[in-house]
Amino acid sequence: MHGSIALAFVIACCGVAGCDRPAPSSQARVDVPASAAAIETYLREGLPDEAMRVADRLRELEPTSALAAELQARALLMAATHDAERGLDPLPRRQLALERYREACAMAPREAGLWRSQGVAADMVGDAARAIECYEAAAVLDPSSMQDRLLLGLVHLRRREFEEARRALDSAQRLAPDSPWPVAAQASLRAELGAFDEAIALAQSAVAMAPSEAGLTVNLGKVLRQSGAAGKAIDVLMAMSTEQRLQRGATEELALSLLDLGRVADAARTWNDCALASPNDALAAAEAGRLWLRAGDRARARACVDLARVAQPEGTIANDLQQLLDESMRSPTAP
């Protein structure tokens, strides 16, 4: 899987930012329990700035604590996600998070979960080689972990290293035969190889194993679209709950399938609905606006400029969309 859907798939199979890692040694928690608990609370409530403030102070007090470095990294990753939703560049904070995880691993080199989390952070900044090193290190430290093999397989898949991906995903499936995630990843591998009948069957099997997992349904939709069955992909995605369908990954995949069928206005409406449901997501508003322009609906595109400006008052996304709108008005075909 590639792009934002791949990232969503990684996050879904790992859970929260800590990737269900084994907890670090209890010493750091004993030293600073109140600060660590406050940071965890802020992270659960989606308040990264508050979490970062406390985490930075904790790191000052405990500079050799792997836990303090890890909490800094988790807060930075959540802040980066919020940046991305507002149309800001998430890369600087993701790179800082990766560095904090590197420091944490240096302080607690036997913690498989920290290596796994560093791998996810490396994935997020596009450092595939480092991600592979981290997942392999985690797999050595935790031989029973399905996650590390799954994440390793996904990196190889994105690099189109199909044999390495197959070996890692086969290992993940052996370790967790009841988990739908290795099955879904195998479906993605088969789709990349052009074995679409097998890919669709595997993707359907993964959904049947965990029908409530939105990421698995999105994966099935993507495999169907890749196979040339965009109409079936739309049916699958439209059957999701409204809340699930309005998530970015599902919105992106649904819009791509609609575009494959030439339904530009419906694709614009899909992104528009996502932007309305996520008022801080300037990128969703911008994507809707661009598609409305492509569909010839300048009025709705203009409304998307306003949505983007509300989501990101100080940013450039609304201005860029406004420029596209102005250029379309100067076009010889403009009414």
Residue 290 lies in a domain: yes
Over the stretch 41-86, which tens digit does the pLDDT of each residue have?
Answer: 888 888 888 999 998 988 888 899 999 999 999 999 999 988 887 7
Residue 308 lies in a domain: yes
Residue of higher predicted confidence among 319 and 1:
319
Model confidence at 253: pLDDT above 50: yes
Helix 112-124 and helix 91-107: axis angle, to 10°? 160
* pTM for the model: 0.84
- Cα gap 160→187, rounded to integer Å: 14
Residue 102 lies in a domain: no
**pLDDT given for residue 35 in this prediction:** 81
Instruction: Give the model's confidence band at 247: pLDDT under 50 very low, under 70 low, under 90 confident, else very high.
Output: very high
Looking at every residue in the chain, the average pLDDT score rounds to 89
Domain count, the chain: 1
193: phi then psi, degrees, rounded to nearest 5: -85, -5
**Cβ(225)–Cβ(255) below 8 Å:** no
Residue 162 lies in a domain: no
Over the stretch 74-129, which tens digit does the pLDDT of each residue have?
Answer: 999 999 988 887 778 899 999 999 999 999 999 999 999 999 999 999 999 999 99
Domain span at residue 333 reads 272-335
Residue 264 lies in a domain: no
**pLDDT given for residue 295 in this prediction:** 97
Over the stretch 128-147, which tens digit does the pLDDT of each residue have?
Answer: 999 999 999 999 999 999 99
Over the stretch 182-214, which tens digit does the pLDDT of each residue have?
Answer: 999 999 999 999 999 999 999 999 999 999 999
Strand (E) or helix (H) holding 277: helix 264-277
Residue 322 lies in a domain: yes
Residue 329 lies in a domain: yes
- Cα gap 320→308, rounded to integer Å: 10
Cα–chain center distance at 281: 14
Model confidence at 8: pLDDT above 80: no
- Cα gap 221→231, rounded to integer Å: 10
Residue 310 lies in a domain: yes
The proportion of the chain whose per-residue pLDDT surpasses 90, expressed as a percent, equals 75
- Cα gap 127→10, rounded to integer Å: 15
**pLDDT given for residue 10 in this prediction:** 54
Mean pLDDT (whole number) for 254-279: 97
Over the stretch 137-181, which tens digit does the pLDDT of each residue have?
Answer: 999 999 999 999 999 999 999 999 999 999 999 999 999 999 999
**pLDDT given for residue 43 in this prediction:** 87
**pLDDT given for residue 5 in this prediction:** 38
Model confidence at 335: pLDDT above 60: no
Residue by residue, DSSP assigns 150-171 as: HHHHHHHHHTT-HHHHHHHHHH
Model confidence at 301: pLDDT above 60: yes
Provide the greatest CA pair distance for the chain: 70
Task: Tokens 């390793």: give the residue.
Answer: 152
